[in-house]
Structure 1
Amino acid sequence: MKRAFLLYSLFVATYTFSQNKKDTTAVNHLEEVVLSTVRLPKKKEALPIQVETINLKQIEFQNFQNTADLLSNSGTLVVQKSQQGGGSPTIRGFEASRVLLLVDGIRMNNLIYRSGHLQNVISVDENLLENVTVFYGPTSTLFGSDALGGTINMTTKKAKFISNQVERISGNVLTRYSSVNEEKSSHFELNYAKENWASLTSFSYNDFGDLKMGKRKNHNGNFFGERPFYIENINGVDVLTENSDKFIQKNSGFKQYNLMQKVAYKSQKGFEHGLNFQFSNSTDIPRYDRLTDASSSGLKNAEWYYGPQKRLLGIYSLTKEKVFLNSDLKIDFAYQNVEESRHNRRFENYNLQNRIEKVNMYSISIDLHKEFTKSDLFYGVESYLEDLNSSAFSNNINTGEIKIIDTRYPNGKNNMLRNDLYVSYNTILSKRTNFNIGARAGFTILNSTISDDTFFALPFNDINQKNFTYSGTAGLVHKPSKNIDLKTNISTGFRVPNIDDLAKIFESGGGFVIVPNADLKPEKTITTDLGLVIKSNNKRFQIENTYYFTRFIDAIITDNYLYNGQSTLTYNGSQSQVLANQNKGRAYVTGFSTNIKGYLVSSLQYVANFNYTLGRITSEEEKTPLDHIPPYYGKVGLNYEKNWGKIEAYVLYNGKKPISDYFLNGEDNEQYAPNGGMPAWETYNLKTAFTIIPKATLFVGVENILDTQYRVFASGINAPGRNIYGGLKYDF
C-alpha cells in the first residue's frame, strides 16, 4: 500500500502544479486516444468502460521481443508464462479462454482454448501491429463468447494508398539483439502504393536462445528456480546432466517466423476490397515448467515440448459508406487454420507420446454503422463454424516402433457453430452526458463424437449441446465540469463451454485424471464499473480511477468428481483421482485501478498505474480463493522526448501472493512457487531511441538493471535477468 500512497501523493502535488501553470507554457499535451474498431465510437472519452490502447509509436519504441512481453510491460495487465515461448494475459482475474483475443476484429479463441494458460498471443508478431486495444470487463455484447474478463484486439498495419504522406514505395528494415537469451531478430516491411490499390508485405524472423534468469537475490525472498540439472539423450540413453550455469534455463529456446501480406483496392463505385493473409510458425517450443518437475530420479520428464505452433489467417474484407439504410458497411469473410501439438516422454522411458490438434475456423461478420446528428448506431451479425481433428501416437526414439495412443480430445468429429446478432447505440443526451446501451443474442451448437473408445470406455459415444446466449450493457458518461468525467456501466458476459471444457480426456499430473462432463452450462458474469477521470485545464495531466465488481455465475471449475459412482479409476496403468470440469455455483471478482499521466515540465512526462484484484468462490460454508487472481501490480515511469529521440526510465512491480490466497491444485501452479507463495518483486528499466542519421533510428536499453531473480505469479519459468538490447531501424 506504500506504492498506492506514493501515487496519490504524486497526483495531488502534480495536479496542483498543473492547474496553476498557465496554458501558454504548455508545449506538450496528452494525446487523445482514438480506437480502431468498427463497433464503437472512435474517441475513448465517450466510452463508459475502461479501455487502454498501446499505439504504434509506443510499440516501436518499447522494442519488446514478442506481443506477450509488450502486454506485460504495459503495467495494466499480468502475463503468465509456463515457458519462454508463451504468454497468457490476465485481465481482472480472468485468463485464457475467459479473455477474448481478436486479430483485426476476427476471433482467435477457438473450440480448444483451455481455461488454464495459453501461449497463442505470441503467434501475432508485434512488428505487424498498428495498435493493441485492451477492453476491461465483460465485452460479450460487442464481441461475443469468452469476453468475461475483457478483450484484447490486435490491429495490424494497413496497406496504404499513395498520398501526400505516403510515397509509392516505402517501408522499413529492423534488426535487434538481446543479451538475456542471445536473441537475433529481423523484420522487413514494404508498402507499394498507387491511387486505387496498395500492397503491404511484412516478414519477421526471431531466434531465441536459452533464457537467463536474474543472478541477484530478490530482497523480498530467497534464491529460487535455478536450473542445476537437465536431461540429455546421449547415444539413445537419458542422462541427468549438471548444468554448467544454473542461472541459464536450459532447454527454453526456440525460433519463430511471421509473414503478412495485405492487398487493398478501391473501385470507382466506392467499394474498398481488402485481402489480409497472415502466417505464423515456430520450431518446437519446450514446455519449461514440465522439464523442471522433480522425481526420485532427479527429473520427471526427459522431453516435454509443444510442436511447431502454426497459425494461418485469411480475410477478405469489403467496405462501403452509405449502403444499407444509409449505413456504412463492412463485411469480413475469414478462414483460420491452427495446428498445435504436445510431445512428452518420461525420464528413461523411450516412447515419445505425440498428440496433435488441427482446427479449422470459418467465419463471416457483417458490421453496419449509421451516424445520426447526436448519436451512433452499430449493429450486425456474425457466424463462426469450427471443427477439430484430434490424433495421437507414440514412437520409440530408439527403435522407431509406432503405436496408437489415447487422444487429448474425442477422436471422432468435433465441431461448434456460433451465430450472433448484436446492436449498440451511443447518444449525446446533453452537452455533458453521453449514454450507451447494447445487446447481443445468439445460438451455439456443439457436437463431439468418440469413434474409438479402446483406451477409455465411456458410457456414451457422443456429446451434444445447444445453448441460447445473450448479454447486455448500459452505461453513462457525465461531465459535471470540463475537468471531471464520471462513468458508470453495467454489463453482462458469457462463455459457452467448448470442446476443451466438455470433452477433454487427459492426465493432469500428480495422480489426477480429468474426465468429460456433458452437463456443463455456460459461464456468466455481471459487472458494474464506476469511473472517475480528473483532467487539468491545460490538458497536461490526467488521473483515471476505475472500481469494478463482477459476479461470476456458473463458474466452470475443475474439482473432484464421481465417474460411474467412483472417485478413482485406472488410467495409463495408474490409479488416479477423478476430476471433472463443473459449474461450481458463484464467485466474485472485485478491484480497482488507478492510471496517472502528466507532464512535470515540457517534454518530461510521467506515467504511473496501480491495480488491485480480489477473487473469491462463495458457498454457504466459506469463501475460498478463486484462481488466476494476481497480486497487486503496476508501473511507474518517466519519459523525456525531443526531436532527436526519446528516453524512458520505469519500474515494474508486483506484490506478494501468499499461499493462503492460492487456489490449490488448480491453475495457480503452487508447485512452481517458493514455500509460502510468490514473493513481491520490482525491476528497474531504461530505454532510449534516437536518430543517428536521417531515417535511421537506434534503439538501446537495459531491462531488469539490477539483475533481480524473480518469477511472475503462476508462472513456471523465471523471468529474464539483466537484458542489454540494441536495435536498428531504417525507414525508406
Structure 2
Amino acid sequence: MKFSVNMDKVVFLLFFLFLNTVTAQEIKVLDYYSKEPIVNVAVYNQDKSKAALSDLEGVCDISVFSENERITFKHLSYEVHKATKNQLLRNGAEVFLVLRPEQLDEVVMSISKWEQQKKDIPHKIVALNARAIAFTNPQTSADLLQNSGKVFVQKSQLGGGSPMIRGFATNRLLLTVDGVRMNNAIFRGGNLQNVISIDPFNIEKTEVIFGPGSVIYGSDALGGVMNFYTKRAIFSHKDSLEVSGNSNLRYASANNERTAHFDINLGKKKWAFLTGVSYNYFDDLKMGSHGPDSYKRENYVTTENGLDVLTTNSDPRKQVSTGYDQWNFMQKITHKPNNNWGLDMGLFYSETSDYSRYDRLIRPDKEGSGLRSAEWYYGPQKWFMGNVQLNKKGKGKFYDGLKITTAYQYFEESRNDRGFQDAILYSTKEMVHAFSTNVDFENKKIGDLRLYYGASYVLNKVGSDGSQKDITTNSISDAPSRYPDGSSWQTAAAYLNGEYKAKPNFSLLSGLRYSHVWINADFDKTFYPFPFDDANLSTGALTGSIGFSWFPRANLQVTLNGSTGFRSPNIDDVGKVFDSEPGSVVVPNPDLEPEYAYNMELGIQKNYNDKVVFKGAAFYTYLVDALVRRDYLFNGESQIEYNGELSTVQAMQNAAKAYVYGFEFGLEAFLTENISLVSNLTLTEGIEEEEDGTDSPSRHVPPTFGDVHFVFKNQNLKTDFFLNFNGEIANDDLATSEQAKTYMYAEDANGLPYSPSWYTLNLRTQYRLNKGFAITCSLENMTNQLYRSYSSGIASPGTNLILGVDYSF
C-alpha cells in the first residue's frame, strides 16, 4: 500500500511536469518598451520548413521546433530577432521585439492630439522614441533634444538648456508634457532652463513640431512645439499581478556625474501603477584643451571672513561653481474599467539644488581687471504637476474619441546676486500656480474626412517677492519684486482641425483656432514710482493652417504647409523689473500687443529602393509686431538707479519685424543589413527690422549645425561613431546684444567678438547581454576640443567618458 501511494505521487509529478513542458512550448511576443503583445509575428526556422504566427495576445506555439533549432521572429514594424528554442525557454518564454526606426507608417500625436500617420502630415515632425533616448543616454532633456541633431540648444550654465528651433527660442517655443502646456506666465524672452525639469528616464516618446503650432496649442507656439510623452503604467495580460521595472546607473567623467534611476510597474487586468525615481549629481564641468584661451576660468571669487577675494583657479579648465544636483519623481495610475473608457493619472515632481548662472559669474568688472559678481545663482527650481485624463472610445453622437484633461502645476524659482565686495545679496522669488483644462474630440464619421476639435482654458496666478540681505549682519529687509505680486494670466480657446484623404496618395490638412488672453496686474509703487497703477490687457487672435502631403510616386513624398502663429504678452513682458545686462534695467510696459508669425514650408522625401532616404525642407517665417527689448523712458527719465547702480532704462515693446528662413536636410543610407549612415544639416538666417528702417541679425538664429553618424547594429550590439559640428558666426553676423557680451565669445583677427566653428568626434556603444542587462559606453569629444556653442555662457565638456548600466526585470 505504501508503494502504491508513492507511485501515485510519482505519476502525479510526471503528469505535472508533462503539462508544464507542454505549456512552456508557448512563447509570448511583446513590444520591448510598452510590453504590449505583438500580433501576427512570423516565427520560422532557417529553411522556413516550420512556422508559427503570434495571436491577438502575442502568443505562438513553438512545439514544432527542436530544442537547438535557431528560430527567427519577424514583423514588418520590428527588428528581426533570432534565438534557439532552449534560449527562449530559459528566458521565461517571452520575446521582446524592438520597433524599427524607419517605419513610413509611424504614428504621431502632436498635430491633432490624436494618432495620425506621419506620412499624411505636411508639417515637419521629429520623433524620438524610448529606444533612441536610452541609446544616447542624455544627462537632461535638453541634451535629449540636442542629441537629435535637429534642435540647437544654448546653455548659460550646467543646469540649463534653452532650445532654438528655426530662429525662435524661449517663450516663442512651446513645451508640453503629456498634452499639458508647461509654458507659464513668467516664461521669459531670455534663455530658459525649464526643460531640465523633465526626467529623460521617464520619457516614452518626444515629438518636435517645426514651425508654428498655434492652431492646436495656442499662444507661444511660434517656432515650434516640443511634446514630451511620459511612460505609461502597463496592465497585466494575466489574471495575476505582473511586476516589472528598470534600474539605471550612469557615470560621466567631464562633470563627475553620478546618476541613479529606478522604476517599478505593478499591473493588474484593470489597474496599473508605475513609480519612477531619479537622482542626478553633477560636479563642476571640465572643458576641453584645444581652443580659445579666453574661455578658460582663470580666477573666481571666494569669500573669506566676510571679504570677497579674487582667487586664482588651479585648473583653468574647470568651470568652478557649475555643479548641482536634482531629484525627479513620477507616479502613474491607470484604470481601464472596460474597452471604451480609460482613466490616466500622473504626479510629477522635480527639484534642483541651488545652481550658479555661470555666464554672470564670468562677467568682468568695469575696469576689466576683476569680476563683477561675487555670487549669482538660482535657488532651487521646483516643478510639480498633477494631471488627470479621461479617455472614451466608441460611437458617440458627435465623436468617436473623447479626451478630457485637467492639470495643476506649481513652479518655483528664485534669483540671487551680489556684486563683488558688496555686502548686499539681492533676491527675488517667484511662484506660479497653473490650472488648465482641455476637451478634445476626434470624429471619423464623415467618409474620408476626419475632424478634430476642442476647447481649452488656462489660468496662471503669479506670486513674487523681493528681499535683500546684508551678509555682514545677516539682517534681511524688503526689496522690489521681479513681477507684480498676485498678477494673473488666462486664456480660453476653441479649435477645429481637419484631415481629408482626397486620394490614397494625397492628404489635405487644415485648421482654425481662436484664442483670447487676459492679463491683470497691479503694480506696487513702494520702490518705484510707476506712472501707472495696473496693466489690464484683453487680446484675441485667430490662427490657421493649411497644407498637403502628396505621394506622386510610392517612393517620393512632397509636402507644403502654410500656417500662422501668435504669442500674446505675458506677465514677464508686461510687468518685469530686472537687470538685463550690466548698466541696463528692464521696466514694465502695460501697452503691449500680441506678435504674429506667418510661415511657409516645403518638404520633400525620396526613398531609393529602401537603401537611401533623403529628406529636405525649406521654410520662411515672417514675424510682425515682434516683442523686443528696447530703450525706454521711465517717468521721462532714460536712466534710473537699480540695485545701487545707475542703469539705462529699457522695456519690452512691439518695435520690430523679423524674418527667418532656412533649409534642413537629412540622409539615411542603409549600406548593409547591419551598417547605416545617418546625417543632418540645418542652415538658418534671420534679420530683425527696426521701426526706423535699420536691421540687425536675429539673436536666436543659430549657426549652421549638423552631424554625421556611422552606425553598426545587430541583435545585441549597437555602435555609433559620429561627428558633430557647428559653423562660425562672424562678428558682423552677431546680434547687437551678443556683440556686447565680449566675455562670452572668442576674439577674431580684429579683436572683435565672434563665435568660432567647432567639431567633435564621438563614439557610443550599447551592448545587450540578455533581455535584462544592457551596458552603454560613450567617449565624447575624443580630440578634447575647447568650444562654446553659440550664445552659451558655459564651455562644453572636454573628452568625456560616459558609462551606463541598465537592468530590466
User: Which category describes the TM-score, using the shorter chain as reference length?
Assistant: over 0.9
Distance in structure 2 (CA, Å) of the matches to 1:112 and 1:554: 20
Contact 1:30 1:540 in 2 (8 A): no
Compare CA radii of gyration and give the structure with the larger one.
2
The 1:129/1:166 distance shift into structure 2, 3 A limit, reads farther
For residues 383-419 of structure 1, give each alpha carbon's deviation from its aligned partner in whole angstroms, at most 9, with x where no partner exists.
Answer: 00000010011122232101111111123x2001100
**Structure 1 residue aligned with 2:631, among 557, 560, 578?**
560
Cα distance, 1:81–1:269 mapped onto 2, change above 3 Å: closer
Alignment of 1:221-300 (within 5 A): 222-268=292-338, 270-295=340-365, 296=367, 298-300=370-372
Report which stretch shifted further, 382-391 or 660-669. 660-669
Q: Alignment identity in percent?
A: 37
Q: Is the 8 Å Cα contact of residues 530 and 635 (structure 2) preserved in structure 1?
A: no
1:555-704 counterparts in 2 under 5 A? 555-618=626-689, 621-665=693-737, 669=741, 671-675=743-747, 676-704=753-781
* Offset of residue 300 of structure 1: 1.2
Check 1:609–1:110 CA distance in 2 against 1; reply closer, same or farther (3 A cut).
Answer: same
Cα distance per residue 1:243-296 (max 9 Å; x no partner): 110000011000000000000011147321111000000100111111111124
Counterpart position of 1:54: 128
2:671 is paired with a residue whose SS is strand
Please give the secondary structure, in 2, of the residue aligned with 1:584.
strand
Q: Distance in 2 between matches of 1:165 and 1:704?
A: 50
Letter in 2 for 1:618: E
**Which residue of 2 is the match for residue 371 of structure 1?**
444
Report the equivalent of 1:726: 803
- Is 1:500 aligned with 2:572? yes
SS in 2 for 1:48: coil
**What is the deviation of 1:432?**
2.0
**In the aligned structure 2, how far is the partner of 1:644 from the partner of 1:215?**
35
When residues 391 and 385 of structure 1 are mapped into structure 2, their CA distance, relative to the original with a 3 A threshold, is same
Contact 2:243 2:265 in 1 (8 A): yes
CA distance in 1: counterparts of 2:790 and 2:768, whole angstroms: 38
Residues 513 and 577 in structure 1, CA contact (< 8 A), matched pair in contact too: yes
Matched, 1:436 2:509: yes
What amino acid sits opposite 1:423 in the alignment?
L
Is the contact made by 2:219 and 2:567 (CA closer than 8 Å) also made in structure 1?
yes
Distance 2:529 2:569 in 1: 23
d(CA) in 1 for partners of 2:764, 2:530: 57
Offset of 1:579 from its aligned partner?
1.0
Q: Give the conservation status (yes or no) of the 8 Å contact 1:669–1:715.
A: no
Partner of 1:97: 171
- The answer (yes or no) to whether the contact 1:442–1:469 under 8 Å persists in 2 is yes
2:407 alignment partner, SS class: strand
| Deviation readout 1:146-195 (Å, 9 max, x if unpaired) | 00000000110001111279981001110000100000000001010011
- Alignment partners' CA distance in 1, 2:587 and 2:123: 38
Measure, in 1, the Cα distance between the counterparts of 2:239 and 2:508.
37
For 1:431 and 1:140, the matched residues in 2 are separated by 28
TM-score, length of structure 1 as denominator length = 0.93
- Confirm or deny: 8 A CA contact 2:374 2:421 kept in the other structure: yes
Q: Residues of 1 paired with 2:578 and 2:260: CA distance?
A: 39
Long gaps (5+) in structure 2: 1-75, 81-99, 748-752
Shift of 1:671: 4.3
The superposition leaves residues 513-547 of structure 1 with CA deviations (integer Å, 9 ceiling, x where unpaired) of 1111111110100000011110123x332111100
Correspondence for 1:338? 411
Counterpart CA distance in 2 for 1:668 and 1:580 is 18
Give runs of aligned pairs for residues 344-383 of structure 1, distance below 5 A: 344-372=417-445, 373-383=447-457
**1:603-623 deviation per Cα after TM superposition (whole angstroms, max 9, x unaligned):** 212111110111112357443
Look up the SS of the partner of 1:657 in the other structure: coil
Give the secondary-structure state (helix, strand or coil) at the position aligned to 1:290: helix
Match of 2:260 in 1: 186
Separation of aligned partners in 2, 1:600 and 1:545:
20
Q: 1:83 to 1:126 in 2, by over 3 A?
A: same
For the residues of structure 2 that align with 1:441 and 1:360, how far apart are their CA atoms?
24
User: Which structure is higher in RCO with an 8 Å CA cutoff and minimum separation 6?
Assistant: 1
Name the amino acid aligned to 2:174. Answer: L
**Residue type of the alignment partner of 2:665:** T
In structure 2, do the counterparts of structure 1 residues 277 and 355 end up closer, same or farther at CA, with 3 Å as the change threshold? same
Deviation at 1:667, TM superposition (A): 9.7
Structure 1 counterpart of 2:141, from 32, 57, 67 = 67
Counterpart-to-counterpart distance in 2, 1:512 and 1:351: 19
Q: Deviations over 1:479-518 (max 9, x none)?
A: 1111111110100000000010011111223211111111
Q: CA deviation at 1:64?
A: 1.3
Partner of 2:500: 427
Query: Given the alignment, which residue of 516, 519, 542 partners 1:470?
Result: 542
Superposition map of 1:154-173 within 5 A: 154-163=228-237, 168-173=242-247
The CA distance in 2 between the partners of 1:604 and 1:479, in whole Å, is 28
Runs of 4+ deviating beyond 6 Å: 26-29, 164-167
State how far apart, in whole Å, the 1-side matches of 2:150 and 2:241 are: 36
Mapping for residues 7-26 of structure 1, pairs under 5 Å: none
Distance 1:166 1:420, change over 3 A: farther
Structure 1 CA distance, aligned partners of 2:800 and 2:555? Answer: 41
- For the residues of structure 2 that align with 1:327 and 1:398, how far apart are their CA atoms? 67
CA distance in 2, matches of 1:670, 1:130: 41
460-469 vs 508-517, which moves further? 508-517
Match of 1:134 among 189, 208, 211: 208
The 3 A distance-change label for structure 1 pair 428 and 573 is same
Residues 96, 114 of structure 1: 8 Å contact kept: yes
The one-letter amino acid of 1:196's match is: K
Matches of 2:250 and 2:685, distance apart in 1: 39
Segment drifting more, 602-611 vs 186-195: 602-611
- Name the counterpart of 1:387: 461
User: What amino acid is the match of 1:170?
Assistant: S
Q: Are 1:548 and 2:622 an aligned pair?
A: no
CA displacement 1:193-249 (0-9 Å, x = unmatched)? 0110100000000000000000123xxxx3331011111122322221111100000
Moved more, 364-373 or 140-149: 364-373
Q: Which moved more, 1:716-725 or 1:31-40?
A: 31-40
> Deviation at 1:102?
0.5
Counterpart in the other structure of 2:375: 303
Answer whether contact 1:96 1:115 (CA < 8 A) is retained: yes
2:385 to 296, 302, 313: 313
2:199 equivalent among 98, 115, 125: 125
Judge conservation of contact 1:139–1:151 (CA < 8 Å) in 2.
yes
The CA distance in 1 between the partners of 2:490 and 2:525, in whole Å, is 25
Cα deviation, 1:550-604, whole Å, max 9, x if unaligned, reads 1111111111122333322333343321211111232100001001112011121
Letter in 2 for 1:628: H
| Equivalent position of 2:39 in the other structure | none
Paired with 1:350 and 1:726, the residues of 2 have a C-alpha distance of 44
How far does residue 662 in structure 1 lie from its aligned partner after superposition?
1.5
Separation in 1 of the partners of 2:437 and 2:735?
Answer: 39
Letter of the aligned partner of 2:132 in structure 1?
Q
Q: Which residue is 2:153 aligned to?
A: 79
What amino acid sits opposite 1:192 in the alignment?
A: L
Task: Report SS of the residue matched to 2:188.
Answer: coil
Q: Is the 8 A contact 1:73 1:652 kept in 2?
A: no
Task: Provide the residue aligned with 2:283 in structure 1.
Answer: 209
Residue equivalent to 1:716: 793
Q: Is the 8 A contact 1:87 1:121 kept in 2?
A: yes
> Amino acid of the residue matched to residue 756 of structure 2?
P
User: How big is the shift at 1:470?
Assistant: 1.5
